[in-house]
Amino acid sequence: MRIVGRGRVDRTITVPFTFDGRRFWGHEGDTLASALMANGVRMVGRSFKYHRPRGIFSAGSEEPSALVTIGHGTARTPNVRAPMQELYEGLSARSQNAWPSLSRDLLALNDLLAPFLGAGFYYKTFMWPRAFWERVYEPAIRRAAGPGALSGQADAARYDKAFAHCDVLVIGGGPSGLMAALVAGRAGSDVILAEEDRKFGGRLLAETEEVDGQPGPDWAAGVVAELTALPNVRLMPRTTVTGAYDQGTYAALERVGLHLAAPHPDAPLETFWRIVARRTVLAAGALERAIAFPDNDRPGIMQAGAVRAYLHRWGVAAGRNVTVFTNNDSGHRTARDLRAAGVDVAGVVDARPDAPDSADYPVFAAGHVVGTSGRHGLREIRVRHAGGQRQLATDCLAVSGGWNPSVHLACHMNARPVWHEGIAGFVAPDGAVPGMAAAGAARGLFSTAGCLADGAEAARAALADLGVTVTSVEVPRAEDGAYDIAPLWHVPGKGRAWLDYQNDVTVKDVEMAAHQNFASAEHMKRYTTQGMAPDQGKTSNVAALAVLAEATGRTIPQTGTTTYRPPYTPVSIAAMGAGGRGKGFAPERFTPSHAACVRRDAPMVEAGLWYRPSYFPLNGETSWRDSCDREVRMVRERVGICDVSTLGKIDVQGPDATAFLDLVYANTISTLRVGRVRYGIMLREDGHVMDDGTCARLGPHHYLVTTTTAAAGPVMRHMEFVHQCLAPRLDVRFIPVTEQWAQFAIAGPRSRDLLNALLDTSIDGQDFPFMACGAVGLMGVAGRLFRISFSGEHGYELAVPARFGAALFRQLLCLAEPFGGGPYGMEALNVLRIEKGFLTHAELDGRTTAFDLGLGRMVSPGKDCIGKAAARRPGLCGASREQLVGLKPVAPEGRLTPGAHLFAEGAQAVRVNDQGHVTSACHSPTLGHEIALAFLKDGRARHGRRMRSVDHLLGVETLCEVCDPVFFDPEGARARG
Amino acid sequence: MRITCPLCGARDRREFHYMGDAVYLDRPDPVAPAVAWDDYLHLRDNPAGETRDLWFHEAGCGAWLVVTRNTVSHDVLSVALADGIRGGAG
Amino acid sequence: MRYSGFRLFSEGMTGNRGWRPVWRDPEPKPEYDVIIIGGGGHGLATAYYLAREHGLRNVAVLEKGYLGGGNVGRNTTIVRANYFLPGNSEFYSHSLKLWEGLAQELNFNVMHSQRGLINLFHSDGQRDAFARRGNAMINQGDDAILLDREGVREILPYLDFDNARFPIHGGLYHPRGGTARHDAVAWGYARGADARGVDLVQNCEVTGIDISNGRVTGVQTTRGAIRARKVGIVVAGRSGQVAAMAGMRLPIESHILQAFVTEGLKPVIDHVVSFGMGHFYISQSDKGGLVFGGDLDFHASYAQRGNLPMAEHVMEAGMALMPMIGKARVLRSWGGIMDMTPDGSPIIDRTAIEGLHVNCGWCYGGFKAVPGSGFSFAHLLATGRHHAPAARFRLDRFARGDLIDEEGTGSQHNLH
């Protein structure tokens, strides 16, 4: 119900919206909660367990009850707190956790079963018969659980992330925060002021207090105007600081477009900020807590402070005939304000025996609310007080159990808050987050004057820390009342008294938990689920701890709190994971030949961050195998071109380059002549093979090291480690040049012919023998040629500066055509290397040693190298190790599959008989049957023996013969020729 | 989390690669007994409190850093270039 | 007190006044046959099996905080037996068998839900590695099914199949994998151990280990000295500190692992799903929260809280894999201390000090191991012999080179 002349919504603008399909109207400036209340809607949801009717409890993000679903289709958002949702035209809100309808909810039946569904009941049942847990009980529980539902589809909206840096971050834009920002801003510091609400002012917007002789909201607006004009101040409304992290890093969520009927298509809905602050003022205010009493959960029972907020900010009376239940002075303020606005107040029930009297409304001193009624909304309360018992008809009970400072962010680094007897609440501990100081209500100061002064002082102290001196700060005049409270956590008596409104945790649940010896705060929380609902117990945890303390005969500080953890309020995965969707998850790296490959219809596959062509289909080829087999034959018989630019390249130079490479390579590099290339392996210090590649000596003190595609980064990091951390005296420098050079394999018997059609100066077997390297010129471009082969054929790799890569690839293909050659892809490359027993990461899987791979002789005995000492461990060598072998099917049509395990003939295919496994397998067009590389226990001694390869997953079992891993041209004559 | 690289200044955690305890600087002699290598590669003091560990400013200057920090509070106490510490060795 | 639906009914009818404490709060005795340091999942399970399997009842579990307050109460609740290396295969297989029927055995509903786990793969190379793994699982007697892309789409239609940076090629499906209610596991074992006479002593921090002539004789605690013939250290991330009290260094580095839970939601994810390219795994709790996690923060830490870079990376991976969860809101994040070993596999062994045993190094896979770990450690403590399924989890395997390195990432502790 709107009250004439109250509130700051713009009544000239009418905003239509719907709730559960019914059409309503609110005003510009309304939240969904204020608009629903203005329209007399009281029940807005159902609780989690008992499906009890739930109304609007608060006016902020601490809301435990009024959770709704907003929007439709992919924009559907569950669990939106009605007080946090700004109203916009066409907003469509729906209640949750009720079926078939909010007013007639079938699962409200649970409420009748409540005696059997107390805390932790599910641990004690649903165990028989055993199969029923997964088939019957669990599915039923899952369906009943969970307030809102996701749409099941990806959201089409944009989300964003950003960084910000400042001298002083002020968290919270109430009186303390505004003063802090003003002092820091005027001093010229870089200031960020983050406020959860759309408007700055905090409680000033919800009260009638004056600051500096002006209405509080007007004073706040004046400060905001001044801050806006300061170039060094950034105001961030609708921004909740959600987490405190190390070295002054804070997470914050900005709701950019959630309040708009038509968010700008280029703007994000939400932005997740990482704010790095040198100093932080925590001015997050305080949250009003409830009092537990029998049936205290009906719609219409609200925070007393929220009732004032709805009245003063939105001009809405929370009821026609309001009662107040309080244990402190602030409850009376609600009664006074309502009376002043012409709303009936049926009485104030004050738990304190010395409650202040009033001429305007009855005060029930030493009073407790001991019961309520009203099925879908409050109708009546029962009061027991100093003078006896009363029943009061009322449709709204405003409750104040005192105020809890918002200490959450101060406790995100494991600190526990400190109990403050004077306010019967926890306050932020000093210094718990380096660089952060709490101010105002977050520190337990509840008078406006105190908050203003404290905010100013916090900023002054923060600036002083940063070396900025602020001499005089003028603090505006404001109310400076005392705060008097007599703690009351729950009203004793029969009937269920709610603590956690969303998870349906009652006083009795906490007492039962304590009785069963779930006596620590953590046990109680976990057993009862207190504080684990979307509101994280912001208005109920302290009361629950108090009940636990009482039940276990301890004080509240002895009982302690559970851990405060980020986020302060929930953050959407979309915002925090912004950028991760689709292609955004990882960078895409493209080779110089990418476009040409795509033009040839080559399927491009992910190879780490790179894309590489799988194969190059020709007309008439019906499967990848057709293309692959052709490409393999093409390389074996004529010439093939393959872009190998993705291989890592590291340029190594310096007088000690040779000594350095001797240390990082297992094999010896110092014996390599200038103009020659050597295959090398690097070990990890733990003795396993890290990577393999080639090392080309381009000059006396100049090498080019290649790595596998995946290991380019790790090898560079490793080399830097070896240099900087182990051998800093070596005069050597290196730099990754992977992106600087485009490199192409030219492989096959006609490769030299092709090259000689391209190079400025032709080469022959004399000046370019196998494993030679050197500078070449082609069409005026300086390139490098390496006579190396990953196919076993006479082959080269030709490198040119990357900008010539695409052109060179085109040119190579043109030149290859007359020889019957062409491009080949990853499939053919893989077959070619398996035929030759060359290794990839299928074999170099981080668990294999040089010994396993048959490369033991490469580990030079004459020098130290990384990994050499650890490789000597007994478990890393010997017959029990699985060693690299080749496998051929005994029957020509036999299939070999990667991942199959090996067993002796006649042995059962079970773990204890496991002899090894297949790492790589393919059909060899060269040999006409399938071949595989495998690791087999004592494999090198078992060439010629028969093994069973068993792939349970594919249902393939093949008898095969163990052989040397080099299937084709074992002498290497073709590559040397 | 932020680390102040001696060459680049204060940078976000995500620019750095972590390796482990700074004992990695003290590589045993290649012919040291197996127990020395076991110690070097595997065994750790693993302190709850102040520790020295190795970080690589991978997305920055490429320097390996010895960071003295507290494993309980995440305070960073000092940062030094690894090759400066190891300058006398190698 | 036996729990049942009938008991719930009769208690409900009589005001729920008859429930008895789930465990006692005993004062520590001066001497025990076995002291277990650490009242987490592994310690409680060890005590339970000592009493149940070996009849050892003069046993105490000393816990510095509250029972189940470590990683057993702070994880992503995944239970699986999908390892492939000898040592791990048989151990996790045994552990999973203990899970099946655990609720009935403990008379405490641990909500073990074998809803199936799917490890996705995104390249031929990953497929081959998963094929090796799946075949090893079947060799061990466990279950595995290799799904192609369409097979995955049938069970997990909500994944981003068409727009992804790393397209889904298929998945390894482990139907017996699933989840359990983590706290309930700790409480169920605690209740079972207590009922068999084990003393569970909370708020009792061990401050020293008494050793005489190379033999452990007891411990010093904040509640006085307690003698014992055998002592088992089962303190996960704190292993380094407790071992130091006995003058030992362990092959352990403690690291943070973060995890996350969203607000409650109606059922939307029915399995456990693990991304192959972004270290992201997710399931939905019976209460409706999406429970998910990723990789370590990667730096040694005891802070029990993480930082934004990894938290954001986990969210990004979630958005890459299943963008439909974008509107779900993260309610809470937490960090645990992971006892990382140089090969990513655990340690259940004696030490050089007679009577002193360690159970540690569970890295971030300890939850599913709780039953098997307790069973095998109890066997070692009670009989002096290694239990066959855990026989390879030796302390000296790093020095010997008998590694169990499932990730293949080598001796750097944080890479597993």
Residue of C nearest to B73 (CA): C303
pLDDT of residue A953: 98
Extents of the domains making up chain A: 1-153, 160-287+405-465, 290-401, 488-559, 593-646+740-833, 650-736, 878-976
Q: Which residue of A has its CA nearest to C147?
A: A953
pLDDT exceeds 90 at position A138: yes
Q: A864: nearest CA in chain B?
A: B30
Minimal C-alpha gap between C395 and chain B (Å): 11
> Is residue A335 a contact partner of residue A362, using CB atoms and an 8 Å limit?
no
Closest residue of C to B34, CA-based? C399
- Is A381 in a helix, a strand, or coil? strand
Pick the CATH number of A290-401 from 2.60.40.1930, 3.30.460.20, 3.30.2010.10, 3.50.50.60: 3.50.50.60
Q: Please check the confidence at residue C181 and state whether its pLDDT lies above 60.
A: yes
Smallest CA-to-CA distance from C72 within C390, C374, C389 is with C374
Helix (H, G, I), strand (E, B) or coil at A54: strand
Q: How confident is the model at residue C276 (pLDDT cuts 50, 70, 90)?
A: confident
Among candidates A249, A721, A869 on the partner chain, residue whose Cβ is nearest the Cβ of B30 = A869
CATH number for the region A1-153 comes to: 3.10.20.440
Is-contact A399 A409, C-beta < 8 A? no
List chain A residues with CB under 8 Å of B76: 247
ipTM, two decimals, is 0.97
Q: Does C10 touch chain A (CB under 8 A)?
A: no
Q: Determine whether the interchain pair C303/B72 forms a contact, defined as Cβ–Cβ distance below 8 Å.
A: yes
Interface test with C, best of B1, B21, B24, B42 (most C CBs within 10 A): B42
Residue in C207, C252, C253, C397 to test binding to B, most B beta-carbons within 10 Å: C253
CATH 1.10.490.10 fits A488-559, yes or no: no
Pairing of β A249-255 and β A239-245:
antiparallel
Instruction: Tell me the C-alpha distance between A646 and A743, whole Å.
Output: 8
**Looking at beta carbons, which residues of chain C come within 8 Å of B55?**
299
Average pLDDT over residues C110-132: 97
What's the confidence (pLDDT) of residue B84?
83
DSSP label of A408? G
Beta carbons of B56 and A721 less than 8 Å apart: yes
A44 lies within 8 A of chain C by CB: no
Q: What is d(CA C393, CA C368) in angstroms, rounded to the nearest whole number? A: 16
Mean pLDDT of the region A265-281: 97
Cβ-Cβ contacts under 8 Å between A and C: the total is: 364
Residue found under tokens 């719930």: C8
Q: What is the mean pLDDT of chain C?
A: 97
Q: What is the DSSP letter of A372?
A: E
Name the residue type at position A384: R
Query: Which chain B residue shows the shortest CA-CA distance from A433?
Result: B73
Would you call A725 and B74 a contact, using CB atoms and an 8 Å cutoff?
no
Interface chains of chain B (3 or more CB pairs under 8 Å): A, C
Least confident segment among A338-347, A703-712, B77-86, C297-306: B77-86
At the fourth CATH level, the homologous superfamily of domain A160-287+405-465 is FAD/NAD(P)-binding domain (3.50.50.60)
- Residues of chain A found within 8 Å of residue B56, distances taken between Cβ atoms: 717, 720-721
Query: Cβ contacts (< 8 Å) between A873 and chain B: which residues?
Result: 34
pLDDT above 90 (res A494):
no
A 366-395 residues with CB < 8 A to C: none
Question: Could you tell me the pLDDT band of residue B89, with boundaries at 50, 70 and 90?
Answer: very low
How distant is the alpha carbon of residue A807 from its chain centre?
42
Region A600-624: mean pLDDT is 97
pLDDT tens figures, A142-152: 998 889 999 99
Q: Domains in chain B, start-ordered, CATH in brackets? A: 1-27+46-90 (3.30.2270.10)
Please tell me if residue C414 touches chain B, with a CB cutoff of 8 Å.
yes
Give the separation between CA A699 and CA A703, rounded to whole angstroms. 7
What digits encode the pLDDT tens for the residues A424-477? 999 988 899 999 999 999 999 999 999 999 999 999 999 999 999 998 889 999
| pLDDT at res. A805 | 98
The residue among A162, A170, A160, A161 whose CA lies nearest residue A230 is: A170
Q: Checking DSSP bridges between strand A929-937 and strand A916-924, what pairing results, if any? A: antiparallel
Residue among A724, A868, A869 minimizing CB distance to B83: A724
Yes or no, beta carbons of C315 and A577 under 8 Å apart:
yes
Spatial separation of the C-alpha atoms in residues A764 and A751, rounded to whole Å: 11
CB-based contact C135 A917, cutoff 8 Å: yes
Whether residue B86 has pLDDT greater than 80: no
Structure tokens at A191: 């200031």
C247 has a chain B CB within 8 A of its CB:
no
Supply the pLDDT for residue A878.
87
Structure token digits, residue A828: 């053919």
The tokens describing A262, both together, are: 């038509």
| pLDDT exceeds 80 at position B88 | no
C397 → chain A, closest CA residue: A875
The whole-number pLDDT of residue A247 equals 97
Residue C194 confidence class, pLDDT cut points 50, 70, 90: very high
pLDDT recorded at residue A547: 97
Residue A721 distance to chain B (closest CA, Å):
7
- Rounded to whole angstroms, how far apart are CA atoms C360 and C235? 7
Instruction: Tell me what pLDDT residue A399 has.
Output: 98
Beta bridge partners, A937, equal A882
Is A687 in CB contact (< 8 Å) with chain C? yes
Distances A184 to A163, A410, A445, A466, A698 between C-alpha atoms, Å: 21, 20, 21, 11, 60
Structural element, H or E, at residue B47: none
Please indicate whether, in this complex, the C-beta atoms of B42 and C414 are within 8 angstroms of each other: no
**In this complex, is the C-beta atom of A914 within 8 Å of any C-beta atom belonging to chain C?**
yes
Is the model's pLDDT at B74 over the cut of 60?
yes
The pLDDT, as a whole number, for residue A817 is 97
Mutate to test the interface with C, among A911, A948, A954 (most CBs of C within 10 A): A911
Judged against a pLDDT cut of 50, whether residue B90 lies above it is answered with: no
CA-based nearest residue in chain A for residue C402: A875
Answer yes or no: do B41 and A686 touch at CB < 8 A.
yes
Do the chains contact at C240 and B46, CB–CB below 8 Å?
yes
Residues in chain C within 8 Å Cβ distance of B39 = 249
B13, B46, B73 member nearest C253 (Cβ)? B46
Residue C162, pLDDT score: 84
| Residue C102 in contact with partner chain A when CB distance is under 8 A | no
**Fold match between A290-401 and A488-559?**
no
Q: What is the pLDDT of residue C244?
A: 97
Which residue of A124, A581, A920 is in closest CB contact with C109? A124
Give yes or no for A339 touching C (CB within 8 A): no
* Average pLDDT of chain A to the nearest whole number: 96
Give the mean model confidence (pLDDT) for residues C257-267: 97
Interchain proximity A413–B37, CB inside 8 Å: no
Whether C192 and chain A come into contact, CB under 8 Å, resolves to no
Q: What is the CATH number of domain A878-976?
A: 2.40.30.110
pLDDT of residue C143: 98
Pairs across B and C, CB distance < 8 A: 75
Q: What is the mean pLDDT of residues A292-299?
A: 98
- For residue C301, count other CB atoms closer than 10 A to its CB: 30
CB contacts of C345 in chain B (<8 Å) are none
Tell me: the pLDDT tens digits for A802-853?
999 999 999 999 999 999 999 999 999 999 999 999 999 999 999 999 999 9
Across the range A686-695, mean pLDDT stands at 98
A593-646+740-833, superfamily in CATH?
Answer: Probable tRNA modification gtpase trme; domain 1 (3.30.1360.120)
CATH architecture of A650-736: 2-Layer Sandwich (3.30)
- This prediction has a pTM of 0.97
- Which chain B residue has the Cα nearest residue A415? B73
A251 with C308: Cβ contact below 8 A: yes
Torsion of CA A893, A895, A901, A904, to 10 degrees: -10
